[in-house]
A and B are shown apart, each in its own frame.
Chain A
Amino acid sequence: MAVPSSRVLRSVLREEAFYFFTSIGNYTGQSASSLDEFLQKIKDVDIKSLEFHLFREDFEKWIAQTLGDDRLAGEIKILRGQKVVGNALRDRLYFVVSRRLKELKGGSLSASASSPVSKERPQSSVLRPS
């Protein structure tokens, strides 16, 4: 079943927003209420926060369960498997999310797009040259 891109791109309620922490209970003060805002925060937030949430699978869960984008969640899951850290993680995460945003702004998600990406997909295509 197709997931409308408007659903993924919408702004969610304060209670459903993504809150960036650097470790258990340590909130940075940065949050994102939409995928657009999430992309901006990836650029600014402490790198420790990106590592913390990626390891805990928080990004995947929020993107799949709150925004409803299983495909982007799947791409982030692949990134997690690559064990990227530091600025390389920031760059790659930014690339993956910005590419998906461009795609979503171009139209609706197809039925196949709501599934996680294929593992056969060339990894180099999701990576940004460092």
Chain B
Amino acid sequence: MKLKGQGAALDDLDRQILRLLQENAKQTYTEIGNRLNVAHSTVYDRIQKMEDLSVIKKYEAVVDWEKIGVPQIMAHMTITTDPKETENVAKKLEKFGQVLEVSTSFSEELVITAKVVAQDQGELHSFIARSIAPLPGVLRIRTAIVTKKYKEERFSLFQRENASRKRNNL
């Protein structure tokens, strides 16, 4: 596995291991090895290297909070800031436990987008009003509360490769 610029260059076996782990990260090295016709020690080595290089960042359980009765609402915030303060505001947002994702994005103007979680609307509003609106440089906040999720997937290398293959065959 060579490092090319800042990114790690993966070979076909690495990609296949990643695809299988994205399907189910609880599979054993032996199970993965059997599916790919390679030794479990090879799978182990490849996974170790990808972990060392932070290609694999973490393994986590995706919990259905509703099933265990934990009330939770999700909201997407779009924060318009003074352009000089965008970076500072984004860095401050990173530190809040309620903020799950923070990015800067550009359409007509540079904005910060963030995914926030709260127990209910009251808690969400109070967090935004007390912790985010007062941050220096925040000019405006738009918040959309998620009412229903139709799809929630993480980016998959395999899906992108499939899509690219389909495009090329057209």
Contact = CB atoms under 8 A, between A and B. Distances in A.
Nearest to B142: A26
Contacts of A27: 128-129, 132-133, 138, 140-141
Interface in B116-165: 121, 124-125, 128-130, 132-134, 136, 138-143, 145
B131 to A, nearest CB: 9
B134 A14 contact: yes
B118 to A, nearest CB: 9
B129 A21 contact: yes
Nearest to B135: A14
Contact-size category for B: 20 to 34
Contacts of A15: 130, 134
A21 B122 CA distance: 13
Nearest to B129: A19
B75 interface: yes
Contact of B128 (A14, A17, A25, A31): A25
B134 A25 contact: no
B112 interface: no
Interface residues of A: mostly helix, strand, loop or mixed?
strand
B18 interface: no
Contacts of B129: 19, 21, 27
Contacts of B132: 27
Contacts, number: 43
B133 A31 contact: yes
A26 B141 contact: yes
B112 to A, nearest CB: 13
B133 A19 contact: yes
A65 B95 CA distance: 28
A24 B141 CA distance: 10
A51 B134 CA distance: 21
Contacts of B141: 25-27
Contacts of A29: 80, 138-140
A26 B134 contact: no
Best-surrounded residue of A14, A27, A28 (most CB of chain B within 10 A): A27
A80 to B, nearest CB: 18
Given A26-B142, A27-B140, A21 B134 contact: no
Interface of B: 75, 77, 80, 121, 124-125, 128-130, 132-134, 136, 138-143, 145
11 contacts: A15-B130, A21-B125, A24-B124, A25-B75, A25-B128, A25-B142, A27-B133, A27-B138, A28-B140, A29-B80, A31-B134
